[in-house]
Amino acid sequence: MRYAIISDVHSNLESLNAMLEMLKSDDGLLCLGDIVGYGPNPNECVALIRQRVTEAVLGNHDVAATDNFGVEYFNPIARNAIEWTQRAISKESVDWLNTLSYEIRAPEYLMVHGAPKNYFEYILDKRGASRAFKNTDARLIFAGHTHIADYYKLNADGTIDHAHMQNGGSLEIAADARYVINAGSVGQPRDLNPKAAFAWYDDAQNTVEFMRYDYPIEQVQQKIRAAGLPEALAARLEVGR
Ligand code: ZN
């Protein structure tokens, strides 16, 4: 089966719509959290994902929007946006987000927002990846949270390789290795490529294809400004950081 892996949609409806257009009816959809926060369309994004998703886990912005959890760790811009989101989000959206869990384990993979066990930790280097491999026995760890498309490969000899995938590209999953796979961000890329990111995972072919695609950035920027959300959240979309 082919699955689209998406993460960090962050209420960016235009990018989510462009991504969903690439999804065929028999594809699965795995969502790694942070559906809301930062962007202007939290309820629309929750509704679309809710209706189409195969499995989804919670991100820190989802929990902050529904429970005010962890807001003290947010920077001023993120905090301003989460307060906006808390006012905008519907009870229906909150109720559905509250049904999600922090991790989902399938035989071949683990889905988490940040990292195994420490769900909101950022995997930013080989040390972080090493911790992640120790904290689960899943062969594939699907994580988001950094908004950076990349992967770490744990080789049979214990060494770890790292590859940036900010321009897209494909990965053949080796039978004797384990991986942390980060598909990047649908709604707010931070790997210096403003094109939006997701990945295809094919469990029959044992491949991951890192994708980048265009979406109408200016429309989202106009909505961010019209909503009174911080200008920095509009500006960052066109530079991808
Ligand atoms: Zn995020």
Residue 189 C-alpha to ligand 1 middle, in angstroms? Answer: 9
Contact yes or no for 58/69 (Cβ under 8 A): no
CA of residue 190 to ligand 1 center, whole Å: 10
- Determine the distance separating the centroid of ligand 1 and the alpha carbon of 21, expressed in angstroms: 22
For residue 144, report the distance from its CA to the centre of ligand 1, in Å.
7
Sign of CA dihedral 93, 83, 145, 16: positive
Whether pTM > 0.85 for this model: the answer is yes
How many other C-beta atoms lie within 10 A of the C-beta of residue 2? 16
Ligand 1 centroid, distance to 86 Cα (angstroms): 16
Distance 2 CA to ligand 1 centre (A): 24
> Measured in angstroms, how far is the CA atom of residue 36 from the centroid of ligand 1?
9
Neighbours of 205 (CB within 10 A): 12
Q: Give the whole-angstrom CA distance, residue 219 versus residue 203.
A: 35
Between CA 119 and CA 138 the distance in angstroms is 15
State in Å: Cα 61 to ligand 1 middle: 7
The alpha carbon of 156 and the centre of ligand 1 are apart by a number of angstroms equal to 31
Distance CA 94, CA 181 (A): 28
- Distance from Cα 191 to the centre of ligand 1, integer Å: 13
Per-residue model confidence (pLDDT) at position 156: 97
Q: How far is the CA of 169 from the centre of ligand 1 (A)?
A: 22
pLDDT tens, residue by residue, 173-183: 999 999 999 99
Beta bridge partners of 5: 30, 199
Distance 7 CA to ligand 1 centre (A): 8
| pLDDT tens digits, 110-133 | 999 999 999 999 999 999 999 999
pLDDT score for 189: 98
What is the Å distance from ligand 1's center to 209 Cα? 21
Using 70 as the pLDDT threshold, list the residues of the chain that sit under it. none
Structural domains for the chain: 2-238 (3.60.21.10)
The span from the CA of 89 to the CA of 85, in Å, is 6
Sheet of strand 207-213, all strands in order from the earlier edge strand to the far edge: 55-56, 28-31, 2-6, 196-202, 207-213, 169-172
Distance 142 CA to ligand 1 centre (A): 14
Query: Would you say 144 and 7 are in contact if contact means Cβ atoms under 8 Å apart?
Result: yes
The Å distance, Cα 138 to ligand 1 centre, comes to 23
Question: How many whole angstroms from 9 Cα to the centroid of ligand 1?
Answer: 8
Write down the pLDDT at residue 53.
98
